[in-house]
Amino acid sequence: MRTFFLYTVLSLLFQSAFAQNTVDKPNIIVFIADDAGWRDFGCYGNPAIQTPNIDQLAAEGIRFTNVFLPTPQCSPTRTSLLTGQFAHTLRTEDLHTPLKVDEKTVAHHLDAAGYYTALLGKSHIGKEATNQFDYFNPGKGNPRGQDLATALDNAGDQPIFTWFAFFDPHRSYQPNTIANPHNPDKVVIPPYLADTPETRQDLAMYYDEISRMDSVIGASLALLKDRGKRENTVVIFMSDNGKPFTRAKGTLYDEGIKTPFIVNWPAQITEASVNGNLLTTLRLAPTVLDLAGVEKPQVMFAESMAPILTESSSAADEYVYGERNWHDCDEHMRSVRSDSFKLIVNSYIELPHGTAADLAGSLSHQSLLRLKEKDELNEAQSLIFQVPRPAIELYDVVNDPYELNNLAFRAEYRPIIRQHYDALQQWMQETNDFSPHFRRRYDNTDRVTGAMFMGRPPEMYAPLTNE
C-alpha cells in the first residue's frame, strides 16, 4: 500500500512538472508548398495572383526576402529541412531517396520536449522518417482543415509541431481548380519563358493551385483561432523549390532555390517587418528546436533563426550553398551565393541541362520546344538549351536578378570567382560532398524534351568507392 501511495504521488508530481514544462511552449506549424516560386504571391510583388491569407501572414509578421533552399528538388530539400543537414551529407541527394533509419528529424528531437508531432500531406522523405511523427496522414491530395483538427484533437494539452505539406502547386494542372480562375492575360511572364497563349494558360492554372493552397491556409488559421491556439502558434510559410517551369525548378538559379519565407507569431511578433538578410533554410530545423527549448544536435550545420524572431537580431549568412543531383536526369551542379553574386559549377558540361519529367508535357515547355525547332527563341529563352554548358557561371544577382548574363568570361571578375569558388570548395569538403565521377545514374528522361522513357529510377552505375 505504501509503495503504491508513493508511486502515485511521484507520478502526479511528474505529470505536474511535465505540464508546467510544456504549457508555455509555442505550437509550431510549417506550411510548405510543393513547387511554388518565391515571386508568385501578392506580398512578394505579383499583382495578378490571389493570395490573401498568405499576404495577411506577411502583413502581420516577418517577410523574409533573401532565403535559399539547399536544392531545387522536392525530396532532397525535405530531408534537408527536417534534419538540418545537406542532402549529399545524408546521401539523399537523388530524387526519391528516403532517409535512413539512423537519421533523426526534428520530430524525433521534439518528442523529448513533450511535443505532439504531425505530418499532414506529402511526405517524400521515406517510411523511417514518417515513423518519427506521432501522427501521419498522407490524405488524398492536399491536406485539409479536418486533418489538422484530428492532429489537434490527438495532441490534447501537448504543444504541437505540424509539418503541413501541400501537393499544390505541383503538376499536373486542370482548368477551373478554383471558383474564380486567374486571367491568362494578366499573368506575369518571366523572361526565360515564351509569351504565348499556351504559356499564359499554364501560368494561370499554376496561379489557381497557389490560390487553392492559400484558402486551405486561411481555413487552418481560422481553426487554430477557434481552438484558442492561434496566439501562441508560430506559423511558417515556405516552398520546397521553385515553380515547375523551365529554368526554374531543378536549376540552381534563384528561380529554382529561392523560397518565400514568412514567419507569423502573434504572441511575440507584434510589429510587421521585412528582413532582407541572406539566410539558408538549413536554419529551419535548429530554429524549431530552439523555439521548443531543445538543444541543437551537432550534426545540424546551421544556427537557429529564433533570435531574429524574438530579439530583432541582424544575423545573416555570408554564403548560402546549393546542389543539384539526379532528378530524372543525372547532374552534379554546385552553387554558392553571396549578397551580390552567384557562382555555379557545372560538371557534365557536354550534356544539356536536365529537364524534370513533370515539365515535359507542360504548355509552357512545349511552347519553348516549338520555338526552338523553328530557331525563334530569344537569348533568355535559349540559355537552358545551351550545349556545351559553361563550366563556371557567375551572375550579378543584384543587377541581373534572372541570371541571364554570365560574367565568368570577363577578366575583371576573376577575383570574385576565386573568392566564391574557394568558399564552395571548403563547403564541399566540410559537408562530405562527393566527386562528380561517383554516385552517377543513367538518365530517366530526355534532357531537352523531358520525355520519360523508363518507368522507375535507374540503378546507380558509379557508386562511391566505399559503398
Assess contact for 304 and 286: CB atoms under 8 A: yes
Residues in a beta bridge with 160: 116
Residue 9 predicted with pLDDT over 50: no
- Decide whether 25-317 matches 322-462 in CATH topology: no
**What pLDDT is stored for residue 415 in this prediction?**
98
| pLDDT-based confidence at residue 20 (cuts at 50, 70, 90) | very low
Assess contact for 433 and 406: CB atoms under 8 A: no
Mean residue pLDDT of the chain comes to 93
- For 273-296, write each residue's pLDDT tens digit: 999 999 999 999 999 999 999 999
Residues in a beta bridge with 29: 162, 235
Kindly give the residue spans of alpha helices, DSSP state H, lying in 25-144.
52-59, 74-83, 87-90, 106-111, 127-130
Assess contact for 320 and 337: CB atoms under 8 A: yes
Assess contact for 239 and 37: CB atoms under 8 A: yes
Q: Exposed e or buried b for every residue in 224-251, given b needs 16+ CB within 10 A?
A: beeeebbebbbbbbbbbbbbbbbbbbbb
Does the domain spanning 322-462 belong to CATH 3.60.20.10? no
Q: Structural domain boundaries of the chain?
A: 25-317, 322-462
Assess contact for 125 and 82: CB atoms under 8 A: yes
The Cα 447–Cα 84 span in angstroms is: 31
Residue 374 per-residue DSSP state? T
**What pLDDT is stored for residue 24 in this prediction?**
84
Residue whose grid cell is 501562441:
232
**What pLDDT is stored for residue 16 in this prediction?**
36
- For 219-229, write each residue's pLDDT tens digit: 999 999 999 99
Q: What is the mean pLDDT of residues 111-136?
A: 96
The total number of residues shown for the chain amounts to 467
- For 34-88, write each residue's pLDDT tens digit: 999 999 999 999 999 999 999 999 999 999 999 999 999 999 999 999 999 999 9
The Cα 66–Cα 258 span in angstroms is: 7
The Cα 231–Cα 224 span in angstroms is: 9
**What pLDDT is stored for residue 310 in this prediction?**
83
The Cα 420–Cα 168 span in angstroms is: 35
pTM metric for this prediction: 0.94
Residue 410 per-residue DSSP state? -
Phi–psi pair at 400, nearest 5 degrees = -135, 70
| pLDDT-based confidence at residue 4 (cuts at 50, 70, 90) | very low
What is the residue type of 101?
A: V
| pLDDT-based confidence at residue 14 (cuts at 50, 70, 90) | very low
What proportions of the chain, in percent to the nearest 5, are helix, strand and coil? 35, 15, 50
Which helix (H) or strand (E) is 28 found in, with range? strand 27-33
* Residue 271: partners with Cβ closer than 8 Å, 6 or more residues away: none
- For 200-214, write each residue's pLDDT tens digit: 999 999 999 999 999
The four Cα atoms 139, 140, 145, 149 give a dihedral, to 10 degrees, of: -30
How many angstroms from the chain centroid is the CA of residue 13? Answer: 42
The Cα 317–Cα 354 span in angstroms is: 29
Q: Tell me, which fold does domain 25-317 have in CATH?
A: Alkaline Phosphatase, subunit A (3.40.720)
